[in-house]
Amino acid sequence: METGVVPTVAQHAEEMMGKEGFRYVCAVVANCKMLALELEAQEGHPEPVDTEALIIAAYLHDISTVAYGFHEHHLKSAEMAVEFLQKHDTPAERINKVEQAILAHMTAFSPDQRVSASIEGRILYDADKLGRLSGLAVVTSLIEFGARYPNRAVTGDVLVAILRHIEERFVELYQSLNTVPAREMASVKFGNTLAFLDGIIEHLSDATPV
């Protein structure tokens, strides 16, 4: 059972983001909990995880998107999270960890940069990205393309180019995951999605134009 300010944070996130947005946030929270447990269970894992700060950050990492959109939303969400937590007498050290985790959740760290990034920030990044490494994300990407270019004719060649671009993004996203548990959790869906994309691309490339 969650204690402290976490239930209040969860209620605030639900009120701010609505049913659909909160459902996604809860999935990120669940991923954070699983990754934290897996990391702490690893032999010789040197970094303690502030689980409460991590969970709070997960609930609040997209808090600004309903009112302000997604452009640089990590900056505004971090600001709003700090303001909310200060009103609820959260310790300054925990607020700082939450703020840094939210700020980091959009950053793909290089191996060298991971050393200096907080463990909570690295976990939140991975937890947020896990949901994008599946076949559903392919459908979402195609819908986004259609919305962005509503009048563009989609020929077989155009669709192949789109799918190859999506595939490249998938590979980059998987490689950007910070933690071994996240890569292990994503590996099956990632592999299946790549096989699915490769199959479609091969079929379209070999198809005879009508």
Q: What is the pLDDT along the chain (210 residues), one digit of tens a residue?
A: 455 899 999 999 999 999 999 999 999 999 999 999 999 888 676 788 999 999 999 999 999 998 888 888 999 999 999 999 999 999 999 999 999 999 999 888 988 888 888 999 999 999 999 988 877 777 777 877 778 888 888 788 888 888 898 899 889 999 999 999 999 999 988 888 889 889 988 888 875 444
Same domain as 171, residue 70:
no
Q: Which helix (H) or strand (E) holds 53?
A: helix 51-60
Same domain as 163, residue 115:
no
Same domain as 163, residue 68:
no
Same domain as 18, residue 113:
yes
CATH at 31: 1.10.3210.10
In this structure, is the dihedral angle defined by the CA atoms of residues 172, 175, 179 and 180, taken in order, positive or negative?
positive
Q: Residue 158: which residues within 8 A CB-CB, separation 6 or more? A: 152
Q: Please say which residue of 104, 130, 156 terminates a domain.
A: 130
Q: 153's torsion region: left (phi>0), alpha (psi -120 to 50) or beta? A: beta
CA angle centred on 148, ends 155 and 20, rounded to 5°:
120
Number of domains composing the chain: 2
Under a CB-based contact definition with an 8 Å cutoff, are residues 140 and 196 in contact? no
Same domain as 137, residue 115:
no
- Tokens at residue 180, please? 């071994």
pTM for this prediction: 0.85
Helix residue ranges, H only, 61-155? 65-68, 73-87, 92-104, 111-114, 119-130, 135-148
- Cα–Cα distance, 172 to 60 (Å, whole number): 25
Backbone angles phi, psi at 189, to 5 degrees: -60, -40
Same domain as 123, residue 156:
no
Same domain as 201, residue 112:
no
Q: Please say which residue of 130, 158, 175 terminates a domain.
A: 130
Residue 1 has a pLDDT of 43
Residue 207 has a pLDDT of 58
Same domain as 90, residue 68:
yes
Same domain as 88, residue 14:
yes
Same domain as 123, residue 55:
yes
Helices 73-87 and 51-60 pack at an angle, to 10 degrees, of 120
Q: Which helix (H) or strand (E) holds 37?
A: helix 6-41
78-126 tens-digit pLDDT: 999 999 999 999 999 999 999 999 999 988 898 888 888 899 999 999 9
Half-sphere CA count of 26, side-chain side, radius 13 A: 12
Q: Which domain holds residue 63?
A: 1-130
